[in-house]
Amino acid sequence: MGNSLKRILLLGLGWLCVTVGFIGIFLPLLPTTPFLLLASACFMRGSPPIAQWLHQHPKFGSIIYNWHQYRSVDRRIKLRANVFIFLSFSLSIFIVPNIWQKVMLAVLAMILLIWFNRLPETTSVSHTSKNTEQGGK
C-alpha cells in the first residue's frame, strides 16, 4: 500500500474516531476515551500536526496525555465509565433471552471491570494536562 493511501486511510479513520468519540460525550452508552486514543494513534502515524492539535485540545488533551504519559485514566472518567459499563451490561443481560447469553455477558462485564479498574488513576490538580498526580500504581 502506498504511503499516500495509507495516510488517507489513517486520517479518515482518525476523524471517524474523533466524531464517534465526540458523539459519545452526549450518548451515555458510547465510550469517548477509547475512540480518542485510537484517533490519536491514527493521527500520530498519518498527520503529526493533527495529532498535536488533538493532544492540546482543552477537553480531550488531558485524557490522551494521561494515557500516553502514564498509561492511566483520570479518576472522574474511570468512575463514569464504571457506571456506564455496569448499566449497559445490566440492560443487555436483562434484554437477551437465553441463560447462556446472560452468563456470557456477566462474565464479560466482570472481566472488563476487573481489567479497567486495575488501570492506574490520575487525579487532576488543575484543568491542565501537565498538572496531574499519579496514583494507584
Phi, psi of 120 (to 5 degrees): -60, 155
Higher pLDDT, 28 or 65: 65
Beta-ladder partners of 73: 121
Angle, helices 33-46 vs 61-70, to 10°: value is 80
Alpha-carbon dihedral of residues 48, 30, 86, 79, nearest 10 degrees? Answer: 50
pTM comes to 0.64
HSE, side-chain direction, 13 A CA sphere, residue 85: 20
Residue 127 has a pLDDT of 47
Residue 96 has a pLDDT of 94
Q: Give 55-84 pLDDT, tens digit per residue.
A: 898 888 888 888 888 888 888 888 888 888
The pairing of beta strand 121-124 with beta strand 73-74: parallel
Q: Give 109-125 pLDDT, tens digit per residue.
A: 999 889 888 989 887 65
Beta-ladder partners of 122: 74, 134
Q: How many CB atoms lie within 10 A of CB 12?
A: 12
- Give the whole-angstrom CA distance, residue 26 versus residue 59: 14
71: left (phi over 0), alpha (psi -120 to 50) or beta: left
